[in-house]
Amino acid sequence: MTRIESKFAQLREEGKKAFVAYIMAGDPDVDSSLAVMKGLPEAGVDVIELGLPFTDPMADGPTIQLAGQRALEGGMTLARTLDMVRAFREGDDTTPIVLMGYYNPIYSRGVDRFLAEAKEAGIDGLIIVDLPPEEDEELCLPAQAAGLNFIRLATPTTDDKRLPKVMQNTSGFVYYVSITGITGAAAAEAADVGPEVARIKAVSDLPVIVGFGIRTPESAKAIAGVADGCVVGTAIVGQIAEGKPVADVLSFVKSLSDGAHSA
């Protein structure tokens, strides 16, 4: 059982919803992002999504695109991202970490090498936005063989015919994208999300976590109330972009996690 699977089993036993937080590795610099990362569990974060900076992040809105650019300009690489995970693991061996990004940096490093390094560093799962299920042999199946969960995205445009294909090799949890378009583009609405979560649960036993368009404790509570939990990324990255002190960023994260956990 991976850390991700253990965490969701624990939350289920406690009758709690999950709160997942996204930050970009190396934004605005390695030390600052590591300080935020280390503070996330105490701020109520159940699963950390760590963004892997990439030059052409097609699913990301301006806030996360700029975070990736800042990280890359600061010298952040895949190897340094894994070093950041190792540093986090020195003090926390239980909080699940999902690496979220695009396939190009992994392909460039070599799949076998990357998976061995990611597992050793303490990564628990992958969300690779630009690898569809038709390409499962490329990374998904090798990742699962290496003991990493491969988490797939489902969207409002994933119809009933497509959904079983998307779910076939997914593990850990399902990430439901609540809106069409890029991150941070619109607000998620619980009334729209609820039926979609039910549709996914009809074909999968995995927890369904909803992301995109959640910016406030109130929206975190509303969305977590119709799913197994929620993800917040753009709103947190926006706080970092504004130059807020680490303590203030973590206080904001705590308000969001309190919202999700009260659902």
Instruction: Give the pLDDT of residue 23.
Output: 98
CA distance 171 to 148: 9
Catalytic residue among 46, 49, 136, 196: 49
Decide if domain 3-261 falls under CATH 3.20.20.70: yes
242 included as an active-site residue: no
Catalytic site includes residue 159 = no
Domain range annotation of the chain: 3-261
26 pLDDT band (50/70/90 cuts)? very high
Verify cis geometry, omega within 30 degrees of 0, for the bond prior to 28.
yes
**Listed residue (3, 183, 235) closest to 99, CA to CA:** 3
What are the tens digits of pLDDT across the range 136-182?
999 999 999 999 999 999 999 999 999 999 999 999 999 999 876 65
- The predicted structure's pLDDT at residue 183: 61
CA pair distance 126, 135, nearest whole angstrom: 14
- In the set 5, 27, 46, 60, the catalytic residue is 60
Contacts of 37 (CB under 8 A, 6+ apart): 23, 48, 50, 84, 88
pTM > 0.85: yes
Phi-psi map region of 217: left, alpha, beta (phi>0 left; psi -120 to 50 alpha)? alpha
Assign 184 a pLDDT band (cuts: 50, 70, 90).
low
Measured CA to CA, the distance from residue 61 to residue 3 in angstroms comes to: 29
Amino acid at 150: F
